[in-house]
Amino acid sequence: MSISTDISGSSNVGGANQLLDLLSLVSNPAVYKNKIDALEAATAENKKFVALVGPADSIVKMRESIALELADVKSTAAEAKKKSAETVVEAKVQAADMLSDAQAKANALKAEAQALVDEAKADTAATKAALSAAKKAKADADAISADFAVRSQTLASTQAEVEAIKAEIKAAKEEILAKHQEFLASL
């Protein structure tokens, strides 16, 4: 329904019909009242849409904020995954180096022990010193093995933390999707 600009319903606003408008108002105030009612109804309808713009704006801002937080969480998870992978590689390299060093030490100690065994026939005291050195090498190898076990446990713990972060990300994503669905359903 369009709203005319004068009481007679026409859009002539030039001022020529002002006397006729006044006479029309005096003779038929119901027409004027209908025009005023139509104007008030249109104004009330437009106010509803203006009131909805505010909440929609805050929802859009909230959605953008959630999207930024989700991107930050994904970035953090990617960094954690990368760091975990790097830690695994470093642990493997260190373990290989330690094992290689231990094997080299063990081989060296074995050769030394063999030489000492050959000399032991002549010198019993030298044999006891070599046995002591072999015990120390074994203790070093045990310490290296214990360190390797601790690093393996740390790696497993890191992997568990990564899995927990993945689960949190999935839960956050599901929660966001559920809130989004609720929002869409409320529209």
pLDDT digits over 36-74, tens only?
888 888 888 877 776 666 666 677 788 888 888 888 888
Residue 126 banded pLDDT, cuts 50, 70, 90: low
User: What is the model's pLDDT at position 55?
Assistant: 64
Q: Read off the pTM.
A: 0.29
In percent, the amount of the chain with pLDDT more than 70 equals 79
The answer to whether residues 3 and 42 touch, using CB atoms and an 8 Å cutoff, is yes
The region, left, alpha or beta by phi > 0 then psi within -120 to 50, assigned to residue 6 is beta
